[in-house]
Amino acid sequence: QTSKLLADNLEQCSACDYREHSKLMRLHSIKSQILSILRLEQAPNISRDMIRQLIPKAPPLTQLLDQYDPRVEDEDHATTETIITMATKPIHFTQDELSSCCLFSLSPKIQPKNILSAQLWVHLRPTSTVNTVFLQVCRLSPDKEGNSTRIRVRSLKIDTDAGSSSWQSIDIKSLLQAWLRQPETNYGLQINAFDSKGEDLAVTSAEPGEEGLQPFIEVKILDSSKRTRRDSGLNCDEESSETRCCRYPLTVDFEEFGWDWIIAPKRYRANYCSGECEFLYLQQYPHAHLVNKANPRGTAGPCCTPTKMSPINMLYFNRKEQIIYGKIASM
């Protein structure tokens, strides 16, 4: 009886070691898969301090975080993705012109035909009294002499309350489509919001205390994703002594990875598979049977591998410090 108990303990220890190996392999696979799907050779080098400065304190991002649900269970082919691009300063104009000018570098993901909506968001500083503000957005273009010309894109009349700041959004879908068709015409925008006293209330370059209030563009695009594969299988926990192929819970913690560039989720529930394939199951899959014979403790092809690959919603920075909210398929 003692020898049988020892044999059982050794078998359980071996199973635990193998599960730990499977877990580490799954984590490594998830990291590689995310970088590959996002077309990143390596994780963007963005620190937590940079994130605090870059994340806009604006309604669309707040709504994304408030309504955030990392798991997506639908299997629609057509999905939407949100790309948020912060403003930078143009290099083609004088210092005086730069104070109210903004340049936006567009993601290659954005194409004229896949834009569902495009909004320019502008933050207005508070006024001391009830006021009427005229917000104007002009497209910049240099002439032959190198001077800038302004072509009006949109203008709004806004009634403001005393002491309250606000975010204003402007539809620029047509402008973005024109820029994408002729990228050489994208010299940026001039943004002004004058009150009745002639004071410009638009935040175009952040003063101390105004970090995250610079203009940005929010673009919703149509994207596609593959259908997930569904099947049944065993569910186990870490205390299980199951030796057959089984699905175990796994928490993926991006902070442990040192991946501060992922805004949300900071962690999510994933799974990993570990165990042996039964002979009857292997008979259904000749490839799995051959692999199992060559490496009985290794992966057995279509047997001990995930059969359901759910997508996950993710909010993250790319290499160009643009914020992207979209679906990462098959995680």
Length of the chain (residues): 331
Residue 159 sits in the same domain as residue 187:
yes
Q: What is the pLDDT of residue 70?
A: 52
Residue 141 sits in the same domain as residue 233:
no
Residue 96 sits in the same domain as residue 211:
yes
Q: How confident is the model over 213-222, as a mean pLDDT? A: 90
Q: Which two tokens stand for residue 201?
A: 């209330």
Integer Cα distance of 254 and 264 in angstroms:
9
pLDDT tens, position by position, 166-210? 899 999 999 999 999 999 889 899 999 999 889 999 999 877 777
| Domain boundary pick from 191, 209, 224 | 224
pLDDT tens, position by position, 279-319? 544 444 443 333 344 444 444 444 566 555 567 778 888 88
Is the pLDDT at 1 greater than 80? The verdict is no
Is the pLDDT at 73 greater than 60? The verdict is no
DSSP string for residues in 223-236: EE-PPPP-----B-
- Can you give the CATH number for the domain in which 243 is found? 2.10.90.10
Phi, psi at 75, each rounded to 5°? -120, 30
| Domain boundary pick from 224, 256, 282 | 224
Residue 163 sits in the same domain as residue 113:
yes
Confidence of residue 96 (pLDDT cuts 50, 70, 90): low
Residue 307 sits in the same domain as residue 257:
yes
What SS3 class is residue 35? helix
Residue 21 sits in the same domain as residue 35:
yes
Residue showing tokens 């442990």: 256
Mean pLDDT of the chain: 76
Confidence of residue 97 (pLDDT cuts 50, 70, 90): low
User: Domain for residue 242, yes or no?
Assistant: yes
User: Domain for residue 119, yes or no?
Assistant: yes
Q: What is the pLDDT of residue 326?
A: 75
Q: pTM to 2 decimals?
A: 0.61
Rg (CA), the chain: 27
Q: What is the pLDDT of residue 226?
A: 47
Q: How confident is the model over 70-79, as a mean pLDDT? A: 50
Amino acid letter, 75:
E
The domain in which residue 133 lies consists of 78-224
Residue 85 sits in the same domain as residue 217:
yes
Which residues make Cβ contacts (< 8 Å) with residue 137, sequence separation at least 6? 120, 122, 152, 153, 154, 155, 170, 172, 189, 190, 191
Domain count, the chain: 2
